[in-house]
Amino acid sequence: SPLHAFLQALPKCEHHIHLEGALTPAMLFTLASRNNVTLPQDDAAFASPEALLARYGRFTFLDDFLHYYYIGMSVLISPNDFELLAWDYFQHAAADGVAHAEVFFDPQAHMERGVSYATVLKGFSTARERAQKELGISSELICCFLRHLPVPDCLATFEDPDVQESFVDGSVRGIGLDSSEKPFPPELFEEIYWRAGKLGLRRTAHAGEEGPATYITSALDTLNVERIDHGIRLADDKELMQRVVKSGTMLSVCPLSNVLLRCVKTVAEVPVRKFLDAGVKFSINSDDPAYFGGYILDNYCAVHEAFDLSVKEWAGVCRAGIEGSWCRQDRKDKML
Ligand code: ES4
Ligand code: ZN
């Protein structure tokens, strides 16, 4: 359709993509075989890439997905594996018309299985440089902490010398907070976010995906976040919504993810129209594209089908996305 071409051509920024969530069933099986990683033999979902993809279509809630997500990433061993994964994502992003991508990764999920931070960073950095050179896509890395793990473990990872080096040398731009949302409220991670702020790191956190709007308040009050990931439960609290409008905090909304994880029944239930009417800034993102059946353009198209945004509204969404990005101002100027 003409709108598909219009949405493809918009200078899109992606702010909510977990690189580990770009691991397709095909790549998962290839790397498992190459690295001699044994997949669970008591789960028929791992019988074939096709069976696995079919299982992904039947997720029931966040932890059901996360179970497969953590098994999936166990096939990532060498710097080359991480490079392959990120490069595959950047190629999809290029095809979808992404100009700039701020990508999450979960170092703790790799370090706890004996894969070093340096290995992960090396692979991702190589892919990012190639994406800049060959695809013209700029990118930033956001290091996420796993909220289901004990806070002292998260602090120890934060203080790891290799991790600290990546914060100081700019290879990592900011931090995030992901994994099982309930019962792990943002305030548990106040210390990490305070230290991150002192280092000049940008700060975001998943909040209000499965968890309540009070988690959004806590992320703002105790973590001093500059963005909220998901944040769809914001629509439940009118006063909080006004606060978010005033502060200009951007939400990174992931419509297909919300449907696949049954946070909403349909994309039409994602509060896109409420956010537009109230003046809440948001971007549209893919979250875990290989698991939720679509990359960023699929999410844009799904939102368009559900809400029929005007050309002007779409331009506004993309402008908010550029302004809410954590790249340098000269890069923003180029996209605007
Ligand atoms: C995630 Cl959809 C979602 N929510 C929370 N944590 C995550 N990690 C990867 N995808
Ligand atoms: Zn996410």
pLDDT digits (tens, 9 = 90+) for 165-212: 999 999 999 999 999 999 999 999 999 999 999 999 999 999 999 999
Mean of pLDDT values over 133-146: 98
Number of domains the chain contains: 1
Q: Name the H helices within the chain.
A: 2-9, 25-34, 49-56, 62-72, 79-95, 107-111, 117-130, 151-159, 161-168, 190-198, 213-223, 238-247, 255-260, 272-278, 289-292, 296-307, 311-323, 329-335
pTM over 0.95: yes
pLDDT tens-digit map of 73-91:
999 999 999 999 999 999 9
The verdict on whether 209 is a catalytic residue reads yes
Checking if the pLDDT of 116 tops 80, the result is yes
Angle at 24 between CA 306 and CA 6, to 5 degrees: 35
Ligand 1 atom index nearest CA of 20: 9
Q: Is 21 in the pocket of ligand 1 (CB under 6 A)?
A: yes
pLDDT tens-digit map of 36-54:
999 999 999 999 999 999 9
pLDDT tens-digit map of 238-274:
999 999 999 999 999 999 999 999 999 999 999 999 9
Mean of pLDDT values over 139-167: 98
CA of 257 to the centre of ligand 1 (A): 9
Checking if the pLDDT of 2 tops 80, the result is no
pLDDT tens-digit map of 275-285:
999 999 999 99
Calculate what percentage of the chain has a pLDDT beyond 90: 99
Distance CA 320, CA 117 (A): 33
Mean of pLDDT values over 291-311: 97
Q: Which helix (H) or strand (E) holds 178?
A: strand 174-178
Q: Is 102 in the pocket of ligand 1 (CB under 6 A)?
A: no
**Nearest residue CA, atom 6 of ligand 1?**
179
Residue written as token pair 């953590």:
70
Domain that holds residue 181: 2-335
Residue 277 sits in a domain whose CATH number is 3.20.20.140
Q: Which ligand is nearest to the CA of 16?
A: 2
Cβ-contact 227, 175 below 8 angstroms: no
Helices 190-198 + 151-159 axis angle, to 10: 20
Residue written as token pair 């992960």:
120
Catalytic residue from among 83, 102, 209, 210: 209
Shortest CA distance to 229 belongs to which of 142, 168, 170? 142
Checking if the pLDDT of 1 tops 80, the result is no
Which pLDDT score is estimated for 326?
A: 98
Hey, is 160 helix, strand or coil?
A: coil
**Nearest residue CA, atom 4 of ligand 1?**
179
In angstroms and rounded to an integer, the radius of gyration of the C-alpha atoms of the chain is 19
